[in-house]
Amino acid sequence: MPFSLSTTTTTPRSPNPNFRSRKSRMSTPPVLSLALPSDTGRVLSIQSHTVQGYVGNKSAVFPLQLLGYDVDPINSVQFSNHTGYPTFKGQVLNGEQLWELIEGLEANDLLFYTHLLTGYIGSVSFLNTILEVINKLRSVNPNLTYVCDPVMGDEGKLYVPEELVHVYREKVVPLASMLTPNQFEAEKLTGLRINSEEDGREACAILHAAGPSKVVITSITIGGLLLLIGSHQKEKGQKPEQFKILIDKIPAYFTGTGDLMTALLLGWSNKYPDSLDKAAELAVSTLQALLRRTLGDYKRAGYDPTSSSLEIRLIQSQDDIRNPNVELKAERYS
């Protein structure tokens, strides 16, 4: 059934006690997302950016805004297009430049965020700066929710330096509130081969023990079936609530889907904090509707959608983002 956002829009709450206006800057108006916070939150999203197409922040920011979140993006890279094209041009932000932006926000009392979202990070030095950012943000808001998509590779192929795996496993995962790896990334983080649903559930348990209370392995292929396995450990030491969602396979390859999925999981899990399975249903249903539209539009344009990676139709799918029709239901494990 469709889910409406009519009851979860950005109705202001009472003023934020963490917001401080500076008397020395009385001519500067307050930042309203700080002074009058919404019922959703304020997200700092550190990911890649492309001028054309939808990956990284281009794939994550707009959906979160549609779901009612204030989102401040920091672009870890700025490229003309994604790297699947024959060529690309652009710039890469380094750790020192990232920290300079954080210092600028701090100098103006703008560092209060409810959520931090990170995606693709290409170097150890930048990832180490992310660790500093997490600590800084939590010094301002100890209740910060950190949603980490540990983008390292897929289908058996690592596309970041090997040393990043160690940093993610030993330093980043323990700080995460929610982790959204794919099957390959979950295997790299746990050292466990995932060949069955039981393996997927065990991988989630291993990751819980390392830190995050919420784990969603966003895509697992087992016996020709594609599924998502989610796990929510509501209290440390408690048996987690685990579930799966069988996902319809769509015969094409799309860019930006992992970035979008993690953003949707952040958005819906914050609205349903005790029902990760419901949040995953909404996220998966949104993504499936968007991918079907993308596939259909390429076919209408006379293009063979199996010949290369496809740019997702994000703007055209905004109604599905706001009010997804849940067709794929979660099945809880006993």
How open is the CA angle 77-130-200, to the nearest 5 degrees?
A: 95
How far is Cα 248 from Cα 121, in angstroms, rounded to an integer? 29
DSSP letters spanning 73-128: EEEEEEESS-TTSS---EEE--HHHHHHHHHHHHHTT----SEEEE-----HHHHH
- Distances 206 to 167, 231, 239, 288, 329 between C-alpha atoms, Å: 17, 11, 12, 29, 25
Of residues 250, 256, 245, the one with CA closest to residue 218: 245
How far is Cα 155 from Cα 286, in angstroms, rounded to an integer? 23
Q: Which of 70, 259, 277, 320 is catalytic?
A: 259
DSSP letters spanning 288-315: HHHHHHHHHHHHHTT--TTSS-EE---G
- Distances 5 to 66, 69, 320 between C-alpha atoms, Å: 10, 12, 12
**37: Cβ–Cβ under 8 A, 6 or more apart, which residues?**
12, 13, 16, 114
How far is Cα 276 from Cα 270, in angstroms, rounded to an integer? 9
Q: With contact defined as beta carbons under 8 Å apart, do 315 and 294 qualify?
A: no
Q: Is residue 149 annotated as part of the catalytic site, yes or no?
A: no
**106: Cβ–Cβ under 8 A, 6 or more apart, which residues?**
136
Cite the active site residues. 259
